[in-house]
């Protein structure tokens, strides 16, 4: 197995297309074409880890090692020591940062499970969507549609195979050297065609287009891709969900703190209030408190929130608890290690 196989699986679970514009996720240092036997999973690449890279093929971190541009790599600086250690040991470093935060099945859902939230949805939807429009001869339209659905197109909420089809007339004039499916070289052709349209999430775009082109009978396929203003509501930062029955904010904060091993959460607002709808976002998710309030939450759990933001949230009627950036995001290590262990039983997975 190569390092790229491990990375491909992570990209499938936490698509790079979900990265925030300011983020720098993905390969930071190293060669992914080399074999992979041992993986180290960490929240941060801290200096202690620089001493533990011997025999590690792939270091997977949540926070990026390289975030701001470097001007030099010198062993007397912390960054220089880390990069030198990677190069010396031949370890590749791969970061899954905001794609893990935003992906369905990522950080938000993992944290929601800790307090038993049900029917969760993203607090701030993030997935980009495209509209694919392709012109197909009527006899091939079902096959082309099926191919795009199988590759991940046509999902709207809990509905699959969503498409729209309208029949019309297509024209074309086959040029020198073409082998047209219908018609002949040098003669304008008018044919019945179906305009088939469907929706595609960004992370499936290249796979959907490749399958569509493979199945389409034309030599030269006419198709359009439009970026949509709509968000894919399956993915997004944070989660909002409901508790099975109303519980005091204090009890939920206590449950969350215990599961994360946090002793003293920082709390803004009323803890005696009964809550049913709860928002959660790990790390520095404090800014999402307005989204939590707009979604009808009575309680918002996060890693960090600014003092004034916390006060503003409390005054708006939302109880907020901050449990620490590292403390709320540490779930990354166990989660990713579990996923890799299950998928690649032959891989040795170490947790930092
Ligand atoms: Zn973070």
The verdict on 115 and 258 lying in the same domain is: yes
Query: CA-CA distance, 221 to 313, in Å (whole number)?
Result: 53
Describe the crossing of helices 3-13 and 331-343 by its angle, rounded to 10 degrees: 120
The verdict on 109 and 183 lying in the same domain is: no
Region 31-38: mean pLDDT is: 96
What pLDDT score was predicted for residue 78? 94
CA 193 distance to own-chain centroid: 37
* CATH number of the structural domain spanning residue 158: 3.30.70.120
What pLDDT score was predicted for residue 211? 98
Per-residue pLDDT tens digits for 240-294? 999 999 999 999 999 999 999 999 999 999 999 999 999 999 999 999 999 999 9
Region 191-201: mean pLDDT is: 97
Q: Residue 22 C-alpha to ligand 1 middle, in angstroms?
A: 13
Tell me how crowded residue 188 is: count the other CB atoms within 10 A of its CB.
Answer: 9
Per-residue pLDDT tens digits for 37-60? 999 999 999 999 999 999 999 999
- What is the pTM assigned to this prediction? 0.89
Residue 80 phi/psi, 5-degree rounding, is -60, -40
Any domain includes 346: no
Any domain includes 46: yes
Any domain includes 337: no
Q: Residue 330 C-alpha to ligand 1 middle, in angstroms?
A: 9
Tell me how crowded residue 306 is: count the other CB atoms within 10 A of its CB.
Answer: 12
Q: Are 220 and 178 in contact (CB under 8 A)?
A: yes
Any domain includes 203: yes
Q: Residue 329 C-alpha to ligand 1 middle, in angstroms?
A: 6
The verdict on 299 and 209 lying in the same domain is: no
Q: Residue 110 C-alpha to ligand 1 middle, in angstroms?
A: 15
What are the residues whose beta carbons fall under 8 Å from the beta carbon of 173, sequence distance 6 or more? 186, 187, 188, 189
Query: CA-CA distance, 155 to 161, in Å (whole number)?
Result: 6
Q: Residue 325 C-alpha to ligand 1 middle, in angstroms?
A: 6
Residue % of the chain over a pLDDT of 70: 100
Judged against a pLDDT cut of 90, whether residue 202 lies above it is answered with yes
Task: Please give the structure tokens belonging to residue 233.
Answer: 């509501």
Q: Residue 97 C-alpha to ligand 1 middle, in angstroms?
A: 8
The verdict on 221 and 135 lying in the same domain is: yes
Give the residue numbers spanning the domain of 240.
102-124+235-326
Closest CA to 56 of 91, 81, 28, 88: 91
- In the block, which residue shows the tokens 């904010």? 249
Of 198, 233, 268, which one is at a domain's C-terminal end?
Answer: 233
Any domain includes 219: yes
The verdict on 179 and 315 lying in the same domain is: no
Q: Residue 70 C-alpha to ligand 1 middle, in angstroms?
A: 21
The verdict on 229 and 242 lying in the same domain is: no
The verdict on 247 and 296 lying in the same domain is: yes
Q: Residue 280 C-alpha to ligand 1 middle, in angstroms?
A: 14
Distance (Å) of CA 334 to CA 16, 217, 305, 330: 20, 47, 25, 8
* CATH number of the structural domain spanning residue 42: 3.40.1390.30
Pairing of strands 266-268, 319-322: antiparallel
Q: Residue 138 C-alpha to ligand 1 middle, in angstroms?
A: 50
What pLDDT score was predicted for residue 4? 97
* Helix %, strand %, coil % of the chain (to 5): 35, 30, 35
Tell me how crowded residue 84 is: count the other CB atoms within 10 A of its CB.
Answer: 15
Query: CA-CA distance, 334 to 31, in Å (whole number)?
Result: 25
Closest CA to 109 of 288, 286, 233, 239: 239
Instruction: Count how many domains the chain has.
Output: 3
- In the block, which residue shows the tokens 């936490």? 14
Any domain includes 254: yes
Residue 238 phi/psi, 5-degree rounding, is 65, 170
| Helices H / strands E in the chain, number of each | 12, 13
Any domain includes 312: yes
Residue % of the chain over a pLDDT of 90: 96
Any domain includes 271: yes
What pLDDT score was predicted for residue 158? 86
The verdict on 85 and 212 lying in the same domain is: no
The verdict on 239 and 307 lying in the same domain is: yes
Task: Please give the structure tokens belonging to residue 81.
Answer: 């020591």
Q: Residue 238 C-alpha to ligand 1 middle, in angstroms?
A: 12
Query: CA-CA distance, 221 to 206, in Å (whole number)?
Result: 15
Closest CA to 57 of 71, 37, 42, 76: 37
The verdict on 229 and 301 lying in the same domain is: no
The verdict on 109 and 167 lying in the same domain is: no
Judged against a pLDDT cut of 90, whether residue 132 lies above it is answered with yes
What pLDDT score was predicted for residue 159? 94
The verdict on 73 and 213 lying in the same domain is: no
Task: Please give the structure tokens belonging to residue 305.
Answer: 């929130």
Q: Residue 137 C-alpha to ligand 1 middle, in angstroms?
A: 50
């Amino acid at each position: 197995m190569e390092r790229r196989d491990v990375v491909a699986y992570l990209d499938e679970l936490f698509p790079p297309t979900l990265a925030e514009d300011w983020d720098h996720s993905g390969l930071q240092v190293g060669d992914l074409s080399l074999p992979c036997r041992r993986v180290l999973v960490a929240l941060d690449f801290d200096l202690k880890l620089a001493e533990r890279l011997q025999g590690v093929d792939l270091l997977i971190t949540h926070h990026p090692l390289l975030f701001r541009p470097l001007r030099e790599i010198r062993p007397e600086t912390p960054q220089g020591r880390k990069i030198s250690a990677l190069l010396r040991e031949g370890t590749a470093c791969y970061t899954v940062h905001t794609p893990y935060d935003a992906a369905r099945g990522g950080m938000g859902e993992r944290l929601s499970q800790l307090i038993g939230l049900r029917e969760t949805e993203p607090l701030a939807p993030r997935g980009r969507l495209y509209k694919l429009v392709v012109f197909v001869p009527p006899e091939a339209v079902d096959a082309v549609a099926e191919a795009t659905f199988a590759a991940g197109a046509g999902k709207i909420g809990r509905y699959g195979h969503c498409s729209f089809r309208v029949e019309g007339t297509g024209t074309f004039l086959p040029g020198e050297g073409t082998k047209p499916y219908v018609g002949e070289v040098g003669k304008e052709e008018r044919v019945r065609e179906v305009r088939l349209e469907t929706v595609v999430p960004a992370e499936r775009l290249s796979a959907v287009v490749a399958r569509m082109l493979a199945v389409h009978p034309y030599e030269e396929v006419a198709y359009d891709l439009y970026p949509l203003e709509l968000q894919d509501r399956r993915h997004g930062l944070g989660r909002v969900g409901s508790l099975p029955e109303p519980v005091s904010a204090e009890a939920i904060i206590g449950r969350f703190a215990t599961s994360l091993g946090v002793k003293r959460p920082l709390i803004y607002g009323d803890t005696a209030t009964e809550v049913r709808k709860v928002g959660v976002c790990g790390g520095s998710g404090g800014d999402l408190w307005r989204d939590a309030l707009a979604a009808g939450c009575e309680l918002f759990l996060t890693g960090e929130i600014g003092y004034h933001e916390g006060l503003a949230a409390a005054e708006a009627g939302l109880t907020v608890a901050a449990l620490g950036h590292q403390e709320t995001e540490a779930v990354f290590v166990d989660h990713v290690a579990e996923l890799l262990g299950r998928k690649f039983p032959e891989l040795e997975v170490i947790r930092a």
